[in-house]
Amino acid sequence: MKGKILVTGASGFVGRNLFEALKRKGCDVVGTRYTRDVPELKYCDLTSYPETMAALDGIEYVIMVATKSYGAKICSTNPCSMVREGIIMNANLLDACYRKGVKKVMFISSSVVYQHSYKPLEEYDLDLNQPPYSMYMGVGWVKRYTEQLCEFYNRLGMKINIVRPTNIYGRYDKLEEEKSHFVPAIIQRTIRKDNPFLVWGSGNNQKDLIYIDDFIRDILLVFDNYNNVEPVNICSGELHSIREIVKEILDIGQHRVIPVYDITKPDSVPYKCILKNKFDSLFGKQDYISLRKGLEKTYDSFSSS
């Protein structure tokens, strides 16, 4: 990929991993940050349209990673936290990309756009007449709306990709207990040797987890080779229960404790499975790191930090 690439949200979980991966590939890449604690990245408030326009000077490609993303606790107790700024940032960035003549944009959407279903879902199964799962109502509609904006700007002539990932995990994920996703939260409790070891919900939920390196490889395959605005699901293709994931992490951390599942606490989606048939047909079947190996690598990155 020739030309300067902008990764928004490059100080966050996905953005930082993507930024470093592009650097390793020898790409001419710059990144923006929303906080002021990573001096090697350019500070940019994407809720400010003038700042967004300025950040695009000389940029030919943009990967939209900046987002507000939290775990089940924030989603249930403060569902508005991911709505207003998310809409403003995405709308500012897409419009600025169009007006600056950016050659191509990728929007990292999410599988939370899908309605709740007990069957695996392909891209065309999205039903906008049904709401997202209740816990993800706010962020789900933000992602849906942004996908519609992507289609609008694509009709105006801007090349855009949309990818819908399932649950991503790996190094650099949030560690703060109040904001972290499920996997780093469980790892942190394991490192601390919490006892009792409390887990929200029943633990019977089924999730598809994809390790960050596999996710980045897959989205770059899309970005480099797919010139279509129609969304592409990104996932590992394997389901695991919360109980299975917790058991693996406890075993990796050698924490011999029986987890306590608190069904009085908010629970995540009981079953969420997306299919990657479209991705496989476009790029062939890829190899994905096993759950155990991915969790070991993630655990090591957190325990050594």
Task: Give the pLDDT confidence score for residue 174 in this predicted structure.
Answer: 82
List the chain domain ranges: 5-303
The pLDDT value given to residue 38: 66
Given a contact cutoff of 8 angstroms between Cβ atoms, the answer to whether 109 and 127 are in contact is no
Element (H, E) at 189: helix 182-192
Q: Which CATH class is domain 5-303?
A: alpha beta
Cα distances (angstroms) measured from residue 68 to each of 81, 84, 150, 220, 234:
7, 10, 19, 22, 20
Amino acid identity for residue 170 in this structure: G
Give tens-digit pLDDT for 197-255. Answer: 999 999 999 999 999 999 999 999 999 999 999 999 999 999 999 999 999 999 999 99
Return the SS3 of 272: coil
pLDDT for the residue numbered 36: 55
| 64 vs 28: CA distance, rounded Å | 16
Residue keyed to tokens 């897409």? 94
Model confidence pLDDT, tens digit, residues 122-175 = 999 999 999 999 989 999 999 999 999 999 999 999 999 999 999 999 999 987
Map tokens 């490609």 to a residue. 61
Per the CB < 8 A criterion, the answer to whether 218 and 286 are in contact is: yes
Rounded Cα distance between 71 and 198, Å, is: 15
Which pair of tokens denotes residue 181? 């996703």
Residues belonging to the chain:
305
* Rounded Cα–Cα distance for residues 174 and 159 (Å): 31
CA distances from 190 to 24, 143, 172, 194 (A): 32, 33, 17, 6
Half-sphere exposure of 248 (CA within 13 A, CB side): 18
HSE of 123, CA atoms in CB hemisphere, 13 A:
17
User: E strands of 173-273, at which residues?
Assistant: 197-200, 206-211, 232-234, 239-241, 259-262
41-80 pLDDT, tens per residue? Answer: 888 999 999 999 999 999 999 999 988 554 455 555 556 6
Neighbouring C-beta atoms of residue 81, cutoff 10 Å: 17
At residue 287, the 3 state secondary structure works out as: coil
Q: Which of 111, 107, 110 is nearest to 274 (CA)?
A: 111
